[in-house]
Structure 1
Amino acid sequence: MPKTEDELYAFLADLGITVSTTRHPPLFTVADSQALRGTIAGAHTKNLFLKDKKDNFFLVTVDEDAEVDLKQIHHLIGAASRVSFGKPEMLMELLGVVPGAVTVFGLINDTQGRVKTVLDAALMENDIVNGHPLTNEATSSIRSADLLRFIEATGHEPVILKVAA
Structure 2
Amino acid sequence: MNKAEVYQYLSERKIAYEVTEHKAVFNMEELDSVQLPYPEWDAKNLFVRDDKKRNYYLITVKGDKRVDLKEFRRRHGLRALSFASAEDLLAIMGLIPGAVTPLGILNDADRQVHLYLDREFSGNWIGLHPNDNTATVWMQADDLMKLIREHGNEAELTEV
TM-score, with length taken from structure 1? 0.89
| Cα deviation 1:87-119 (Å, max 9, x = unaligned) | 001001111111111001101101211011100
Letter in 2 for 1:64: G
Displacement after TM superposition at 1:156 (Å):
1.6
CA distance in 1, matches of 2:99, 2:48: 15
Letter in 1 for 2:114: K
Task: Give yes or no for the alignment of 1:136 onto 2:133.
Answer: yes
Of residues 86, 89, 96, the one that matches 2:87 is: 89
Name the stretch that deviates more: 33-42 or 19-28: 33-42
Gaps of 5+ in 2: none
Q: CA RMSD in A?
A: 1.5
| Cα deviation 1:110-159 (Å, max 9, x = unaligned) | 1211011100112325x211000000000000012211221122212311
Gaps of 5+ in 1: none
Q: Give the match for residue 37 of structure 2.
A: 39
Q: Give the match for residue 108 of structure 1.
A: 106
1:16 is paired with a residue of what secondary structure?
coil
CA distance in 2, matches of 1:42, 1:69: 21
TM-score, with length taken from structure 2? 0.92
1:42-81 alignment, distance < 5 Å: 43-55=41-53, 56-79=55-78, 81=79
Of residues 23, 28, 44, the one that matches 1:30 is: 28
How many residues matched? 159
Percentage identity across paired residues of the two chains = 31
After TM superposition, the runs of 4+ consecutive aligned structure 1 residues lying more than 3 A away are: none
CA distance in 1, matches of 2:33, 2:72: 28
State whether residues 72 and 82 of structure 1, in contact with CA within 8 Å, keep that contact through their aligned partners in structure 2: no
Q: Give the match for residue 20 of structure 1.
A: 18
Name the stretch that deviates more: 17-26 or 7-16: 7-16
CA distance in 2, matches of 1:133, 1:48: 16
CA distance in 2, matches of 1:77, 1:117: 12
2:122 is paired with a residue of what secondary structure?
helix
